[in-house]
Structure 1
């Protein structure tokens, strides 16, 4: 262990300065708002106070670690701290190496005279300083000097991460983010002790890295027709010659990072303890490369760089020609010269192999290597790239489709298709990064009150409760879990402000679940620390989401008794509600679920003297079919069973999150629903609640038919509605209303026609949440 000796080098002036009176700050446990939560933290008595005379004494091996901390602290305080070789008697910060600690571990001891940091390595020293940063006031984040008391509570901290891989993936292909924003994001990752930046540089919609041997990748592949004014799934295909005539060419959208940009980003990240892992997609998600070099595909036809969604992905690299592998090895060689990381991500996901099935060269490759099908050809492709990377001393990382057809056990599997796939990879002996429940491109609040996002739903609380330990894996398999990361895909994220909104505060939860052991995690404690951290984000001018303050309503049907329940992610929030026409200013304080016996609208929000967030509105509709039996033909899909047979008459409406348990789904089928009202009842109107979420392959029925009967055998058609299939970029919920003359009937039969063949291809799901009868 390296140690630093103390010397009594204090002048009379220094003693006098240290004895000047000051008001002692009384810190409490509630002031210890460190994220991620340290493994051990004890509050002591008193505090240490930074002054302009405070000195830093740093082990030369760790000297670089102080740079970003001191630069920011000096901006905020106006001080110019001295870095010395020897410690004084008091008012100093010592940073020393302790090789008995884990490389990313540290201890931090604060008392009124000194701050002592012991670090297992460079990253450990960085993390100790980031903890110290969060123990200081939020004014630390100011870019101009602030007059404040720079006091730190006396604490003793012993800390180290639970997992080695604590990451963020940022998609810069679908939306190009400038270099300056990447650097800012790295700063914010460092605050949270995240150490892996997964740089998604290549996808169908844009090639974002300069490759000197293949200049067309950025001359052509980095640019697409500007359709940024349209929603992602409403954008139209681009022709290969869209920019051929400068006089009539449309506006371009895109950009790329030069190799000098990449070097700067990698060095900046390294200073902050962050490894940058590049992702170069293959064999699919590569239309931007094929647009630049059509000869890399099976069909050799020129294509345009798409501006929006492409599904299925059939334009992929040809696996049957050597030219493809020469190109990829050349590209990866330049990439490896820029990125010193152990890991290189090659994608490997979502390839549709129709071109391989009819390509003579691919078929010849399969015959020569005794490959049974195109899945084994995909495995050949991945293994060949894996061998190349191994020959260069690197390790391949890929999305979990790289397992299809077999995989070398040195490769790292990035699990995104659910924990069962992740378990399979672990059982095969592959290291795994678990990401399936960490997709922060999903909504974090009720979609009607949020900016456009992907169709899923991942609120802060759900992400925080994602555990990498809960899956009952054996200790041997647990050891192969490298960690986790948040994935921010950018199809719907069109600005840096929107990106910040999707990242924060969810990145705080990701930091804690990847750093802190499960036994120390506590939601109430975390949310209190998060609210304190938000004040820090305010100083930093970060556009973070406040969705955790949103009131989330649910309707409960308890054996025919209907209740409206209001909830909020923030514990003990002051929720107020108003029913019917009552204005929100006269709202009632919410204490318990509200019993309802008739249809009503409602409004609800969180109060702090006044309404403090978006007002949530909704409606509960009573109707004649509540709790009545429904027969299904065919039965709903096993993946979308809602609450079972009672789903469509339970009065509980589905949300735009089709995983919320209130939707029944059918894949490609026409559907017949038969409702038994139990006795002859006068009916005049039927409503069918449906969803259209085309990004997820969900479409409204294209035809509705209503039939009535009293005996359940003889039916008479009373209403029909045809719904044209139109392209929609946003998830849409709609009650389709079919009215007819008042008629006595016991049985109601509904026939719903599936679109079968969607306009952009892909799946054709039909989703229904409620049948309402009046």
Structure 2
């Protein structure tokens, strides 16, 4: 399930990291295992401590010199080991590091182990996503021939808080079963009749009349123009019903203009004894009426053949809150197959999401075929080790030694036909695909690919053609480091060949949309995280700057670049979209530094700004941009970055720099009071919500018109398989969908207060019950099923009795008292368990399909995690 990703097993008591996608070890190669024993992070005056162990598992000695073990680690090397003797750690570039012998290293004989303890003053490890991975050995044999071989990595478990504590100010409780119990204590099991029938919750639902018997004999009748919707519904129903069974009755699909159906996507669903009628404002509305109809199916209907299904008589009137309801997937950092994308589009459509933001390029990978520029995929879609990075991009995020697309998520791309198929599939589900080509930063894959092209054509003697699409100037002396630690990932925006390249990319993508029969209305150009220091040493930029207004080179040239991009897209009839940076300008502030303000130069140009920064003083950045006249998609990191870990448990994968995002965090996002959307930071400390509310600019009525919608983001530095895509996405997506579609909640725009939180928590109890009693069981099977996160249970011990709860009432917990792991046939928890002296209880949450959460073991050792 976790191919090419960290594999953790609390049963075995250790974690094994395999650099997958690489050749199997052979007796002809040196075979090394690296074990990392992490004792504690550097916290205040307390130094970090740990140990690296090298174990020669083969028959060939590791020499005293001329070798290196390469590995990736997203937080810095193991961490910044400052007292390591015998080995030397250094950064290659990005998050690729290497271990080499220092002069005191005497070699490692076959079968020999050596330990290398260290202390550190920097570097923090927060969970298993932040450990070394994807390691491989590069060395010279006795003949001076370079050889390579994978290195297995064993990570000893994190059990105590000091192993993942972030700072002296880290006040988070130990994220164990006791903490979870307290977090979930206010959520009770509700009667099903108190729960909404449909998710997202419609504008109105009125039960009326008799039920309808849906079966394989039910006939679908559709008006002209709704052929796509008819075929979709028929294809969905066919596998669910036995042929020739049930009553002959009718489902009617049509376009209408009923009261309350002013918005695109609005619909009315009416069910009575004799027929089902779906009326849409447009074809999209009919499609959403179909999704609501499917939501009425019992959750077990998707796992078997049914004779018929009884659907309640009702009238649903519904319309979306926001016109833009988006989901973003990064396939640059780690590639995800066409099959995964199509499976994702199915579930997005089911929850009425209508935009798929497709992040196709980044520093670590170019993922779309562009005719005429074969190096973009022949070089830029592959990651692996090649000397001096001549054959493909270097390994990143644990992608390992070889560029094997079947075994490593570091390698892969969509052919032109793949991309067209994705566009057509999305269109059939009323999902707009917005492609992102991230420029001018985050462009290392493109730059290195065009350098490979230049080298090939130069070798062929075709010098003029070799420079046609070049993005880099060899004698550029600019010195910079991007956020991801690259010194070479920004396009030279002063070279004409850069714009020739960009125009070529735009035109080829436009042709793919044309061939798919899908209009391309918006192109996302990224525009984020351009580091300080770029372009200062570029000869072409030094020349161009003499012709432009005075100012900081980065600021002046960014304005120049965006102006040219906007013109290029405008000529093609396409809107420019980008991350918030495309709409910001830096204003110097005393005594030093900058502050960011809305850029008045582009407010009339129709830019679409995706605002992700909601940290600290930027909590109202989206409000300020919308109030200034920019169209905005709310993409807040603190609520809507799905790649952030669900919680602070070290076995919970994901990043944490922007906090923790679980389903409730996504659900409680409040577009009209973002100050109160998150109450604590990633160290468990209170946010200054009331201070923000009282001192910062709120969204004004005119600005509210510029809030186009909401988007969840899944960045994939830590996401390497399809299973992990859906683990991170579900059930967070359901919280996002509720907020993007459903009418504004009564508590949302209110200022922070205990009353607001009480109203919010009362609504959350209903939503959590809907997930636990219906939605998660459905996700086990609908569209073939999804590997959503199964939440581990919480627990409390009082008077020798163990009480267990879950965040989503209705989920099953199974337990054992004989020391065995709980299984799908273990005893079901129904009431508090009496603890027997000297024995342990093991328990876990189970899905309807038999998948399980992490196992909790109680009693646990004092100061150690329960799971």
Q: TM-score, normalised by structure 1?
A: 0.64
Aligned to 1:499: 725
Q: Structure 1 residue 390 and structure 2 residue 570: aligned?
A: yes
Query: By how many angstroms is 1:376 displaced?
Result: 2.3
> In 2, distance between residues paired with 1:428 and 1:566?
50
Query: By how many angstroms is 1:33 displaced?
Result: 3.4
Deviations 1:86-132 (A, max 9, x none): xxx98211111113522200000111111111110011000000110
Query: By how many angstroms is 1:292 displaced?
Result: 1.1
Aligned to 1:641: none
Mapping of 1:11-22 within 5 angstroms?
none
Q: Give the direction of change, closer, same or farther, for the CA distance of 1:575–1:81 in structure 2 (3 Å limit).
A: closer
Query: By how many angstroms is 1:501 displaced?
Result: 0.9
Residues 575 and 604 in structure 1, CA contact (< 8 A), matched pair in contact too:
no
Q: 2:737 aligns with which of 511, 519, 527?
A: 511
Aligned to 1:47: 211
Aligned to 1:93: 251
Query: By how many angstroms is 1:298 displaced?
Result: 4.1
Residues 322 and 709 in structure 2, CA contact (< 8 A), matched pair in contact too:
yes
Aligned to 1:414: 610
Query: By how many angstroms is 1:571 displaced?
Result: 5.8
Aligned to 1:426: 626
Q: Give the direction of change, closer, same or farther, for the CA distance of 1:589–1:620 in structure 2 (3 Å limit).
A: same
Residues 548 and 569 in structure 1, CA contact (< 8 A), matched pair in contact too:
yes
> In 2, distance between residues paired with 1:243 and 1:463?
38
Query: By how many angstroms is 1:76 displaced?
Result: 1.3
> In 2, distance between residues paired with 1:587 and 1:505?
23
Aligned to 1:204: 363
Residues 209 and 257 in structure 1, CA contact (< 8 A), matched pair in contact too:
yes
Query: By how many angstroms is 1:158 displaced?
Result: 0.2
Aligned to 2:227: 63
Q: Structure 1 residue 469 and structure 2 residue 665: aligned?
A: no
Query: By how many angstroms is 1:355 displaced?
Result: 3.6
Mapping of 1:361-760 within 5 angstroms?
361-373=540-552, 374-405=554-585, 406=599, 407-409=601-603, 410-418=606-614, 419-436=619-636, 437-453=639-655, 456-471=659-674, 472-519=698-745, 522-531=763-772, 532-540=774-782, 541-551=784-794, 569-570=807-808, 613-616=853-856
* CA root-mean-square deviation: 4.2
> In 1, distance between residues paired with 2:845 and 2:548?
68
Q: Give the direction of change, closer, same or farther, for the CA distance of 1:654–1:153 in structure 2 (3 Å limit).
A: same
Instruction: Give the match's secondary structure for 1:41.
Output: strand
> In 2, distance between residues paired with 1:251 and 1:28?
51
Structure with more contact order per residue of length (Cα contacts < 8 Å, sep ≥ 6): 2
Q: Structure 1 residue 329 and structure 2 residue 472: aligned?
A: no
Aligned to 2:414: 257
Q: 2:238 aligns with which of 74, 80, 87?
A: 74
Query: By how many angstroms is 1:604 displaced?
Result: 9.4
Instruction: Give the match's secondary structure for 1:256.
Output: coil
> In 1, distance between residues paired with 2:208 and 2:231?
28
Q: TM-score, normalised by structure 2?
A: 0.58
Q: 1:317 aligns with which of 491, 514, 533?
A: 491
Q: Give the direction of change, closer, same or farther, for the CA distance of 1:367–1:504 in structure 2 (3 Å limit).
A: same
* Count, aligned residues: 556
Mapping of 1:153-302 within 5 angstroms?
153-225=312-384, 239-242=388-391, 250-253=402-405, 254-294=411-451, 296-300=470-474
Q: Give the direction of change, closer, same or farther, for the CA distance of 1:207–1:81 in structure 2 (3 Å limit).
A: farther
Residues 347 and 397 in structure 1, CA contact (< 8 A), matched pair in contact too:
yes
Structure holding more strand per residue: 1
Deviations 1:630-684 (A, max 9, x none): xxxxxxxxxxxxxxxxxxxxx9x999xxxxxxxxxxxxxxxxxxxxxxxxxxxxx
> In 1, distance between residues paired with 2:832 and 2:226?
54
> In 1, distance between residues paired with 2:709 and 2:434?
15
Deviations 1:59-81 (A, max 9, x none): 11222112222102011113479
Instruction: Give the match's secondary structure for 1:150.
Output: strand
> In 2, distance between residues paired with 1:408 and 1:611?
51
Residues 435 and 485 in structure 1, CA contact (< 8 A), matched pair in contact too:
yes
Q: Which consecutive unaligned segments of at least 5 residues does structure 1 have?
A: 1-26, 83-88, 227-236, 303-307, 555-563, 592-601, 623-650, 656-774
Query: By how many angstroms is 1:364 displaced?
Result: 1.9
Residues 282 and 348 in structure 1, CA contact (< 8 A), matched pair in contact too:
yes
Instruction: Give the match's secondary structure for 2:719.
Output: coil
> In 1, distance between residues paired with 2:830 and 2:277?
52
> In 2, distance between residues paired with 1:70 and 1:586?
38
Deviations 1:196-242 (A, max 9, x none): 0011100111111111132211121111117xxxxxxxxxx973224
Instruction: Give the match's secondary structure for 2:231.
Output: helix
> In 2, distance between residues paired with 1:611 and 1:500?
14
Aligned to 1:229: none
Query: By how many angstroms is 1:423 displaced?
Result: 1.9
Instruction: Give the match's secondary structure for 1:317.
Output: coil
Q: Give the direction of change, closer, same or farther, for the CA distance of 1:573–1:29 in structure 2 (3 Å limit).
A: closer
Query: By how many angstroms is 1:453 displaced?
Result: 4.8
Q: Give the direction of change, closer, same or farther, for the CA distance of 1:265–1:365 in structure 2 (3 Å limit).
A: same
> In 2, distance between residues paired with 1:396 and 1:252?
35
Deviations 1:529-560 (A, max 9, x none): 21211111112453434454543999xxxxxx
Q: Give the direction of change, closer, same or farther, for the CA distance of 1:364–1:553 in structure 2 (3 Å limit).
A: farther
Residues 635 and 712 in structure 2, CA contact (< 8 A), matched pair in contact too:
yes
Instruction: Give the match's secondary structure for 1:486.
Output: strand
Q: Structure 1 residue 357 and structure 2 residue 542: aligned?
A: no
